Amino acid sequence: MDIERIHTPVMLDRTVELLAPAISADGAVLVDATLGMGGHTAALLERFPQLTVIGLDRDTDALAIARERLSRFGDRARFVHTVYDGIARAVRSQGLTEVQGVLFDLGVSSLQLDRAERGFAYSKDAPLDMRMDATRGRTAADVIAESSEDELRRIFLDYGEEKLAARYARAIVRARAEHPITRSAELVAIIDRATPAALQRAGHPAKRVFQALRIEVNEELSVLERAVPAALDVLAVEGRMVVLSYQSLEDRIVKRQLQSASSSTAPAGLPMELPEHRPQFRLLVRGAELASEAEQAKNPRAKPVRLRAAERVRRPS
């Protein structure tokens, strides 16, 4: 496998720039909460020779590749098999209570997309799996087989923002009554048949359904709801966090939680802000930053990215 060819870290230079003030000092530790194949981590370890990175991932295949790729850094690269809402436990497992940096590169990884047998890609026929951790949990085929029509409609609407959610849910329930739906090509064919001809040109009709199933299988949004505050909590004063999101549902969660963390808690009407009400964090970028046009042209997976970042400015007294 040519890792460098299939895995180009998104917004790498900007990520390094934002994290640098927090992780340049001796003894600095960063948590790469979505290690993947270690592209961001490799660059950070090369750039900052005193840095240690704790890499988290739920995907055992990705961890194995990252261990090999990062072996040259010795014990400066550490690995924990966990979902990223387990960040506090992972930090404690390394004998630490706080860290200087946290990085989230959310969404499905290059490895998961490019290995057809994982079932993430609607363009490749494979078993309907979609588990980021292939050692546990329900598969996408299980969700398709066990969910009611109303549940499928909710999944496609809430997690895929799919306007034809009800239509697709109905078509799937009819089809599964005739035979189990266990492969991605079978599901794509059902969605194709259920899509009005006038809408066939508006992007691949299966894209949002596959996104929704992946989010449901991996509980991505509920995990992220827990992970962001947990990550903020382990940041030291002057520590920084960067989050790369790839779809609007993720970005809304990150935006809301960072805005809350960087806002005053003073009750309305107070004549002055007391020290204990001052924000614990400050935002490092205005809104969400996008990848440059040049990067988007070179790396198509950078097109949907939204980058947000924050720095801890104080701990509660």
Annotated binding-site positions for S-adenosyl-L-methionine = 38-40, 57, 84, 105, 112
Q: Quick one: CA torsion of 30, 35, 39, 45, rounded to 10 degrees?
A: 30
CB half-sphere exposure, 274, CA atoms < 13 A: 10
**CA 215/CA 139 separation, integer angstroms:** 11
Q: Which CB contacts under 8 angstroms, 24+ apart, belong to 182-187? A: 182/127, 182/128, 182/141, 183/125, 183/126, 183/127, 183/128, 184/119, 184/121, 184/122, 184/124, 184/125, 184/126, 184/127, 184/128, 184/210, 185/125, 187/122, 187/128, 187/144
> Do 28 and 51 contact (CB within 8 A), yes or no?
yes
Q: Which two tokens stand for residue 222?
A: 């509920």
Task: Summarize the annotated binding site as residue ranges.
Answer: 38-40, 57, 84, 105, 112
> Do 54 and 95 contact (CB within 8 A), yes or no?
no
Q: CB-based burial of residue 202 (10 Å sphere; 0-12 exposed, 13-18 middle, 19+ buried)?
A: exposed
Q: Which two tokens stand for residue 138?
A: 């329900």
Distance of CA 171 to the CA centre of its chain: 30
- Please count the other Cβ atoms lying within 10 Å of the Cβ belonging to residue 230: 18
Say which residue the tokens 């691949």 belong to: 204
